[in-house]
């Protein structure tokens, strides 16, 4: 596709880099030199070897995905989060651990989490259930699997270790499509996972929030909270990133449901249809261009993941496999099968599509 955009990996928001350093260690342990993968992700050895260096969040996400393939570990994010030292979260961990009740700790995690990672916003909603939502801020969500699984695992670990109880979510929802190899992840969470959802979210019973924490210490918590407020102030206001990433993050979960229209995306972003068009035009873009280029990015990602073409068509909002195939050929000059073969992608999932088409769930194409 002519004029296809390239992601600026050196842009804010930034993260403390703890995940990147865990990945570097995993690569070295696995006998893989980290430098080539770091370069592909827009990072350097100096950044991951320096515990004080912050890294671009988008680079960290990209590094996790690259390392997952290099180590042949489809659950790398989960494995790293399950085994890492939680105290390496630093000040934020200790202010959570010294809180009175779990709900207090969760609300403080939502407020101070951006000290650790500016690209992930936690939202805590209390009612009949406690809902812990994760929203990516000025960072592409649609191309990520490992990073979000890292965060979900870390949250569940924190909830369990702070209360010293094996608390199990009522349900978990994630935006990305499911994979057959996720049984270990589901077993750890203790519940089923709703894939291809419209949000990333952990849901617990309401009474979980009232559980006391084993390390509660009001005096220490007051002191650490003041330090966190100072650290938050030092981070300052994040620079305003291009609108494109917000639009893409809003589009991706709506594609399978046929709801990714310009008017709906504008509504979700709190803009009028006209304002959305005008702001995109200031970046030299149109909604249609963003939509089509995002569909191509997702299609290539799903092909690399060896998803059946019929499922890819549904995930992208096409009612017919043939409509997706024609669109993909228009974008790339190749059929999905040809593209997969040229990029050395396994094509087992592309076989037998003709016989499977009739039984596939159909979505409607986005505008």
Average confidence (pLDDT) over 322-337: 91
198 and 220 fall within a common domain: yes
Show which of 202, 231, 260 is a domain's final residue: 231
237 within some domain: no
| 258-260-262-266 Cα dihedral, nearest 10 degrees | 130
Task: Please name the residue that has the structure tokens 């972003």.
Answer: 269
Q: Which residues contact 97 (CB under 8 A, 6 or more apart)?
A: 105, 162, 213, 215
* Residue 115 to residue 230: CA distance in whole angstroms: 10
What's the N-to-C CA distance of the chain in angstroms? 18
Q: In the chain, how many domains are there?
A: 2
169 and 261 fall within a common domain: no
The pLDDT of residue 280: 87
The pLDDT of residue 235: 67
The pLDDT of residue 238: 44
111 and 183 fall within a common domain: yes
94 and 202 fall within a common domain: yes
Average confidence (pLDDT) over 131-160: 92
226 and 80 fall within a common domain: yes
The percentage of residues in the chain with a pLDDT greater than 90, rounded to a whole number, is 53
321 within some domain: yes
Structure-token pair, residue 200: 């990333």
The percentage of residues in the chain with a pLDDT greater than 70, rounded to a whole number, is 87
125 within some domain: yes
125 and 271 fall within a common domain: no
- Going from the C-alpha of 164 to that of each of 80, 105, 158, 213, 221, the distances in angstroms are 21, 14, 9, 8, 19
The pLDDT of residue 355: 34
87 and 226 fall within a common domain: yes
95 within some domain: yes
Angle between helices 76-83 and 146-163 (to 10 degrees): 30
Q: What is the largest CA-CA distance in the chain?
A: 67
Assess whether pLDDT exceeds 70 at residue 92. Answer: yes
* Residue 209 to residue 305: CA distance in whole angstroms: 37
* Residue 78 to residue 71: CA distance in whole angstroms: 14
Q: Which of 85, 43, 77 is nearest to 60 (CA)?
A: 43
The residue with greater pLDDT, 343 or 193, is 193
* Residue 38 to residue 107: CA distance in whole angstroms: 34
167 and 305 fall within a common domain: no
Does the predicted model carry a pTM greater than 0.75?
Answer: no
Show which of 231, 255, 289 is a domain's final residue: 231
Q: What are phi and psi of 140, to 5 degrees?
A: -70, 120
For 181, counting Cβ atoms within 10 Å of its Cβ (0-12 exposed, 13-18 middle, 19+ buried), the class is exposed
For 27, counting Cβ atoms within 10 Å of its Cβ (0-12 exposed, 13-18 middle, 19+ buried), the class is buried
Give the range among 104-108, 178-182, 236-240 with minimum mean pLDDT: 236-240
The pLDDT of residue 305: 78
27-39: pLDDT as tens digits: 999 999 999 999 9
The residue with greater pLDDT, 143 or 287, is 287
225 and 248 fall within a common domain: no
Average confidence (pLDDT) over 108-124: 91
The pLDDT of residue 345: 57
Task: Please name the residue that has the structure tokens 């989060």.
Answer: 81
207-224: pLDDT as tens digits: 999 999 999 999 999 999
Q: What is the 8-class DSSP label of residue 89? A: G
364 within some domain: no
126 has which bridge partners?
A: 130
Q: Which of 72, 5, 17 is nearest to 41 (CA)?
A: 17
Q: What are phi and psi of 172, to 5 degrees?
A: -130, 135
Average confidence (pLDDT) over 319-325: 91
Q: Place 236 in a pLDDT band, splitting at 50, 70 and 90.
A: low
Q: Where are the alpha helices (DSSP H) in the chain?
A: 18-29, 34-41, 45-49, 57-70, 76-83, 91-97, 102-116, 146-163, 183-189, 218-235, 243-251, 262-268, 273-282, 287-304, 309-315, 321-332, 336-342, 353-356
Q: What is the 8-class DSSP label of residue 43? A: -
151 within some domain: yes
224 and 291 fall within a common domain: no
102 and 250 fall within a common domain: no
* Residue 32 to residue 70: CA distance in whole angstroms: 8
- Going from the C-alpha of 265 to that of each of 90, 151, 246, 252, 320, the distances in angstroms are 37, 26, 9, 10, 24
* Residue 42 to residue 274: CA distance in whole angstroms: 35
84 within some domain: yes
150-188: pLDDT as tens digits: 999 999 999 999 999 999 999 999 998 876 657 899 999
* Residue 70 to residue 236: CA distance in whole angstroms: 36
Assess whether pLDDT exceeds 60 at residue 363. Answer: no
Range of the structural domain that residue 81 is part of: 75-231
Show which of 231, 261, 282 is a domain's final residue: 231
Q: What is the DSSP string of 156-205?
A: HHHHHHHHTS----SEEE-SSPP-TT-HHHHHHHTS-EE-S-SSEEEEEE
5 within some domain: no
Q: For the domain that residue 271 is a member of, what is the CATH number? A: 1.10.10.60
| Contact between 116 and 20 (Cβ < 8 Å) | no
227 and 90 fall within a common domain: yes
Give the range among 30-39, 197-206, 230-239 with minimum mean pLDDT: 230-239
Q: What are phi and psi of 75, to 5 degrees?
A: -120, 35
């Amino acid at each position: 596709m002519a004029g296809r955009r390239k992601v600026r990996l050196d842009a804010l928001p930034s993260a403390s880099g703890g995940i990147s350093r865990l990945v570097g260690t995993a690569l070295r342990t696995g006998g893989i030199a980290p430098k080539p993968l770091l370069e592909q992700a827009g990072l350097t050895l100096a950044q991951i070897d320096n515990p004080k260096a912050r890294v671009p969040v988008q680079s960290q996400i990209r590094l996790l995905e690259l390392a997952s393939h290099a180590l042949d570990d489809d659950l790398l994010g989960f494995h790293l989060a399950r085994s890492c030292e939680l105290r390496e979260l630093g000040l934020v961990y200790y202010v959570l651990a010294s809180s009175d009740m779990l709900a207090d700790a969760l609300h403080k995690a939502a407020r101070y989490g951006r000290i650790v990672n500016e690209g992930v916003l936690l939202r805590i909603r209390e009612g009949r259930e406690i809902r812990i939502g994760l929203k990516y801020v000025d960072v592409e969500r649609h191309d990520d699997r490992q990073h979000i699984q890292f965060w979900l695992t870390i949250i569940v670990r924190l909830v369990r270790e702070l209360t010293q109880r094996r608390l199990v979510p009522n349900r978990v929802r994630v935006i990305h499509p499911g994979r057959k190899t996720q049984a270990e992840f589901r077993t750890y969470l203790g519940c089923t996972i709703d894939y291809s959802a419209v949000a990333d979210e952990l849901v617990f019973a309401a009474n979980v929030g009232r559980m006391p924490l084993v390390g509660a210490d009001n005096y220490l918590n007051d002191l650490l909270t003041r330090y966190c407020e100072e650290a938050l102030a030092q981070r300052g206001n994040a620079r305003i990133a291009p609108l494109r990433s917000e639009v893409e993050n809003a589009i991706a979960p709506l594609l399978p449901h046929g709801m990714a229209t310009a008017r709906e995306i504008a509504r979700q972003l709190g803009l009028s249809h006209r304002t959305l068009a005008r702001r995109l035009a200031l970046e030299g873009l149109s909604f249609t261009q963003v939509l089509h280029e995002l569909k191509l990015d997702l299609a290539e990602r799903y092909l690399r993941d060896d998803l059946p073409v019929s499922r890819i068509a549904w995930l992208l909002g096409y009612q017919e496999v043939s409509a997706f195939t024609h669109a993909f050929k228009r974008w790339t000059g190749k059929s999905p099968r040809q593209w997969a073969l040229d990029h050395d992608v396994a094509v087992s999932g592309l076989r037998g599509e003709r016989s499977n088409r009739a039984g596939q769930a159909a979505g409607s194409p986005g505008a």
